[in-house]
Amino acid sequence: MTTIVLGAPGSGKTYFVEKIKPIYSEIFDADYDIPGLAGWTDANGNSAVFPAEPTIAWLDTHFFRWNLDVLKKFLEAHPNAIICGIAANAFELAYLFDQAFYLLIDPETLKTRMLSGERKNKRGKSLAEIEQITRAITEEHLPLTHAFGVSIIDGTLPSTTIFNSILPIHNRKNDE
């Protein structure tokens, strides 16, 4: 049984992986644990380098995408994986997983987390990015959760609460 946990940058995916990894080794951060999975592209699919200070115009014309072949191979090698991440094409790739969840957070929590000096991920450090991410949640992510049957989880809950709501379903499907 494979599970995808999606969420905007700052929703707690990396933190969730770090807290759960000691008790469930088949949990992976799509940004750090799956080489070759993700990269920035322009609208035509050409590779792009993420700038040090991205503008809204750049963010609106460039996309962080997952490589379908890399993801398929990874899932074949890890049939019990829980993968946490987000990409422009993540919702359309959710069909590869047995179940999908989305960590939803409110705009104030997002801003607080993004501006925190504790974030490992370099994405979301500028106000332009925070504005773009907030817009993406309401205009893109939420409609896509409904379109692709992705279950919403409150991303402000403690990691163990989130894990305990996902794992029984994950394990139950593995036992079938």
Q: What are phi and psi of 81, to 5 degrees?
A: -70, 145
Map tokens 């994950």 to a residue.
170
pLDDT in tens, 11-51: 888 888 988 899 889 999 998 999 999 999 999 989 999 88
Contact 44, 94 (CB under 8 A): no
Q: Which of 148, 14, 22, 156 is nearest to 90 (CA)?
A: 148
Q: Would you call 162 helix, strand, or coil by DSSP?
A: helix
Model pLDDT for residues 40-83, shown as the tens digit of each residue? 999 998 999 988 888 888 988 999 999 999 999 999 999 999 99
Architecture of domain 3-175: 3-Layer(aba) Sandwich (3.40)
Cα 146 to chain centroid, rounded: 16
Neighbours of 107 (CB within 10 A): 14
- Provide the H-helix boundaries in the chain: 13-20, 56-61, 68-77, 107-114, 127-136, 142-147, 159-175
